[in-house]
Each structure stands twice: as C-alpha cells, then as structure tokens.
Amino acid sequence: MYELLFWKYLEEVYLNHHEVYEALVEKEEVEGLEKLPVEVIMNRINSVFSEWEKVDENSWQNTKGKGAFQVITTPQSVKIDCYGTEGKTMNKLVALMEEFKCPLYDPQVPERYDEMSE
C-alpha cells in the first residue's frame, strides 16, 4: 500500500507536516487547516475515474489494468490508500487534489509538496 494525504493550511499558517499527518490519520481536528469541500472532491474523483469499477462508496478498482485505491476523508483531509497503483494514476490523483489547492504529503518520504503554482 502507498499512502497519499492532502490538506490545506489556512493563510499564514505553517505547521509541522508530520504532526499534522499523524493527527489527521487519527481523524483529529487540526487547528490551522481549512475545511475541505469533501463531497465536491469525491464527485471529482468519481468523474475522473469513471472508467474504473467503483467497488464501494470510497473505493475504485482498475478493471483494465493494475491498481485500486480507497479514499478516506475527514472535514480537513483526503487520504488515498493506493494498492498496486501505477505512478501515472497516483500523479492523476495528485493533480486532481491540486485543483482544490491541496498539495500532496507523502508520508513514505516524508515530504509535503507545497510548491504549487498559484
């Protein structure tokens, strides 16, 4: 499994990314993070991955290739667990979340890629 986690800081807020990650994984609310339009994000994922089989409300499986992923949300975050998912698919998920100004935090590295183009 490969984890991707996304959140958005309030303006002028900068916190320890790993501590934010740990709190969000525990589904805790983190002061300094924006509330995300979770329903809109889920609809966008549904649209972008419409050719994938929707296994359940939060999980998609590639029927024409490798991989599957599950989306776990809190009001402040979107966590995507990827299972055997190809890099180009993960890049598509990252780009999709950038549409919502939510850069990737990669806990495997650990690094947050927040040099997004404004």
Given a cut of 50, the residues of the chain with pLDDT beneath it are: 116-118
Report the Cα 79 to chain-centroid distance in Å: 4
SS3 (DSSP) at 98: helix
Phi, psi dihedrals of residue 99, rounded to the nearest 5°:
-60, -30
Going by CATH, does the domain composed of 1-111 fall within 3.30.310.250?
yes
CA distances from 103 to 4, 16, 53, 77, 94 (A): 10, 15, 26, 11, 7
- Confidence (pLDDT) at 115: 66
Q: 45 near 71, Cβ under 8 Å?
A: yes
Q: 6 near 102, Cβ under 8 Å?
A: yes
- Confidence (pLDDT) at 90: 97
Against a cut of 0.85, is the pTM above it? yes
- Confidence (pLDDT) at 114: 84
